[in-house]
């Protein structure tokens, strides 16, 4: 069969096949399919399923048996609500009476039996496995086509944004054999799967496509944000986080002490000039859920631990690791290797505790960051002051070039 030129063609083809299989009204949805209970049973044989304690599953009828089996297997189900309007709910088999499990896993009943979750890592927790349906999926690269609304891709992006899932979180598509293709059209925001499970087989995708990094806010208009609770919550937190960063790191203020602390009340007064609906509870939530630990709360006071462009005097402990990393562009790396690492726009140089974090930092400036290795142990021995801001971020006034090298593999 010739390759499909568009997702629209693929959907029309699959929905036609579903009609031939006797599925009533398969159009414009992730269709239920003959043998979906058998496919859900076959899913239970996979090690990634057996090892998962918390499983995300969309509300589609096609995944009904996946959700029910997960509860039977003692797993916590994180379930999206229809159209993501009310975000995510948790079904915990230890908290929901077994007598109502068959009802609880239905899209309209989860509101009654499940626990409503805030859109935060603290509330949703780490998700060990994502299981989804599809209109079509590719055995070649794991490319998945949904019904055209983009909800699963958005669900992944939201969970990725808060840290509940990542690039290595396994994703499984449970579909009918007739929904499996050799290759499919795709775009950059499509989330690829690692396994395909059908009523008759398990297909492991050897080289799945790279997943998107998070929410592409440019593609989401305000009308859609207003209809989806997680997007509203995240947008609010993002605005508050950016405003807090500016006030505590970059805005000279008589309300700030020399050690960078200012009162929560003073911060809130400044913050409301930028985000009128901000409140103290939201500030605390943003600070406590910040993945990099950028802020510190103490006795009604708050400060940024690092990242200042204004003059503050923050005493931090000395570095406690032997090696640190710095992600940057290829051109900047060449200059750093010659002249050393100096602050640019900040009062301190920022260093990462892991290669992964250094790459993430470097990607703010280039798609192909170069990672530099910092011999922190040798630098400290020679009197270079390197301080620990958080477990993931270290700072210094200057790193001389003799302690800097290209990470193995970078040229």
- Total number of domains in the chain: 3
Among candidate residues 164, 188, 217, the one where a domain is terminated: 217
Which residues 6+ apart lie within 8 Å of 267 measured at CB?
Answer: 244, 247, 248, 283, 302
Among candidate residues 162, 188, 217, the one where a domain is terminated: 217
Per-residue confidence (pLDDT) for residue 218, from 0 to 100? 84
Model pTM score: 0.74
Is the domain of 150 the same as that of 198?
Answer: yes
Query: Which CATH number is 260's domain given?
Result: 1.10.10.970
Is the domain of 174 the same as that of 143?
Answer: yes
- For CA atoms 88, 93, 98, 101, give the dihedral sign: positive
pLDDT in tens, 130-188: 999 999 999 999 999 999 999 999 999 999 988 899 989 999 999 999 999 999 998 88
Q: How many beta carbons lie within 10 A of that of residue 300, not counting itself?
A: 10
Which 3-state string (H, E, C) describes the chain?
Answer: CCCCCCHHHHHHHHHHHHHHCCCCCCCCCCCCCCCHHHHHHHHCCCHHHHCCCEEEECCCHHHHHHHHHHHHCCCEEEEECHHHCCCEEEECCCCCCHHHHHHHCCCCCHHHHCEEECCCHHHHCCCCEEEECCCEEECCCCCEECCCCCHHHHHHHHHHHHCCCCCCCCEEEECCHHHEECCCCCCCCCCCCCEEECCCCEEECCCCCCCCCCCCHHHCCHHHHCCCHHHHHHHHHHHHHHHHHHHHHCCCCCCCCCCCCEEHHHHHHHHCCCCCCCCHHHHHHHHHCCCCCCEEEECCEEEECCCCCCCCCCCCCECCCCEEEEEECHHHHHHHHHHCECCCCCCCEEEECCHHHHHHHHCCCCCCCEEEEEEHHHHHHCCCCEEECCCCEEEECCECHHHEEECCCCC
Tracing tokens 């077994």 back to the chain, one arrives at 98
Per-residue confidence (pLDDT) for residue 411, from 0 to 100? 43
Is the domain of 104 the same as that of 87?
Answer: yes
Per-residue confidence (pLDDT) for residue 5, from 0 to 100? 81
Is the domain of 238 the same as that of 117?
Answer: no
* Start-to-end C-alpha separation, the chain: 44
Q: Does the residue 1 lie in any domain? A: no
CB 369 within 8 A of CB 327: yes
Q: pLDDT band at 219, cuts 50/70/90? A: confident
Q: pLDDT band at 409, cuts 50/70/90? A: low
pLDDT in tens, 343-401: 988 889 999 999 999 998 998 889 889 999 999 999 999 999 999 999 999 999 999 99
Per-residue confidence (pLDDT) for residue 344, from 0 to 100? 85
CA atoms of 220 and 108, how far apart (whole Å) = 26
**What would the mean pLDDT of 185-202 be, rounded to a whole number?**
94
Q: Does the residue 313 lie in any domain? A: no
Query: Which CATH number is 212's domain given?
Result: 3.40.50.10420
CA atoms of 259 and 341, how far apart (whole Å) = 25
pLDDT in tens, 30-82: 999 999 999 999 999 999 999 999 999 999 999 999 999 999 999 999 999 99
Is the domain of 295 the same as that of 337?
Answer: no
Q: Does the residue 13 lie in any domain? A: yes
pLDDT in tens, 80-121: 999 999 999 999 999 999 999 999 999 999 999 999 999 988
Is the domain of 80 the same as that of 163?
Answer: yes
User: With 60 as the cut, is the pLDDT of residue 1 above it?
Assistant: no
Per-residue confidence (pLDDT) for residue 410, from 0 to 100? 52
Tokens of 212: 């998107």
Per-residue confidence (pLDDT) for residue 290, from 0 to 100? 83
Per-residue confidence (pLDDT) for residue 274, from 0 to 100? 87
CA distances from 225 to 16, 81, 153, 154 (A): 33, 15, 15, 12
Is the domain of 183 the same as that of 66?
Answer: yes
Is the domain of 11 the same as that of 125?
Answer: yes
Per-residue confidence (pLDDT) for residue 81, from 0 to 100? 95
User: With 70 as the cut, is the pLDDT of residue 321 above it?
Assistant: yes
Q: Does the residue 141 lie in any domain? A: yes
pLDDT in tens, 294-303: 999 999 999 9
State the residue range of the domain holding 265. 225-304
Comparison of pLDDT for 277 and 279, the residue scoring more: 279
Is the domain of 191 the same as that of 256?
Answer: no
User: With 90 as the cut, is the pLDDT of residue 229 above it?
Assistant: yes
Per-residue confidence (pLDDT) for residue 43, from 0 to 100? 98
CB 130 within 8 A of CB 56: yes
């Amino acid at each position: 069969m010739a390759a499909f030129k568009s997702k629209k063609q693929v959907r029309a083809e699959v929905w036609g096949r579903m009609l031939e299989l006797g599925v009533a009204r398969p159009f414009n949805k992730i269709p239920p399919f003959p043998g979906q209970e058998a496919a859900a049973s076959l899913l239970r044989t996979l090690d990634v399923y057996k090892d998962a304690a918390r499983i995300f599953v969309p509300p589609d009828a096609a995944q009904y048996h996946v959700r029910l089996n997960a509860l039977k297997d003692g797993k916590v189900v994180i379930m999206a609500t229809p159209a993501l309007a009310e975000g995510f709910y948790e079904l915990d088999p230890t908290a929901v009476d077994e007598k109502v499990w068959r009802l609880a896993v239905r899209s309209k009943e989860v509101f009654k039996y499940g626990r409503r979750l805030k859109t935060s890592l603290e509330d949703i927790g780490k998700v060990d496995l994502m299981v989804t349906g599809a209109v079509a999926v590719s055995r070649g690269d794991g490319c998945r086509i949904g019904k055209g609304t983009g909800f699963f891709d958005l669900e992944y992006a939201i969970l990725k944004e808060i840290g509940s899932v990542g690039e290595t979180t396994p994703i499984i598509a449970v579909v009918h054999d007739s929904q499996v293709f050799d290759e499919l059209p795709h775009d950059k925001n499509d989330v690829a799967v690692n396994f395909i499970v059908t009523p008759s087989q398990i297909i492991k995708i050897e080289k799945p496509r790279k997943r998107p990094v998070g929410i592409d806010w440019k593609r989401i208009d305000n009308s859609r944000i207003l209809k989806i609770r997680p997007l509203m919550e995240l947008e609010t937190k993002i605005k508050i986080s950016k405003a807090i960063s500016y006030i505590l790191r970059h805005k000279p203020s008589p309300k700030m002490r020399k050690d960078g602390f200012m009162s929560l009340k003073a911060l809130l007064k400044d913050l409301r000039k930028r985000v009128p609906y901000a409140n103290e509870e939201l500030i605390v939530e943003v600070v406590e859920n910040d993945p990099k630990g950028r802020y510190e709360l103490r006795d009604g006071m708050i400060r940024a631990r690092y990242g200042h462009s204004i003059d503050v005097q923050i005493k931090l402990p000395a570095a406690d690791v032997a090696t640190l990393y710095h992600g940057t562009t290829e051109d900047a790396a060449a200059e750093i290797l010659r002249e050393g690492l100096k602050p640019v726009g900040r009062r301190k140089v920022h260093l990462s505790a892991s290669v992964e974090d250094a790459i993430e930092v470097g990607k703010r400036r280039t798609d192909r960051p170069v990672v530099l290795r910092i011999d922190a142990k040798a630098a400290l021995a020679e009197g270079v002051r390197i301080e620990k801001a958080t477990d993931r971020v270290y700072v210094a006034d200057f790193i001389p070039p003799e302690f800097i090298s290209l990470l193995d593999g970078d040229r």
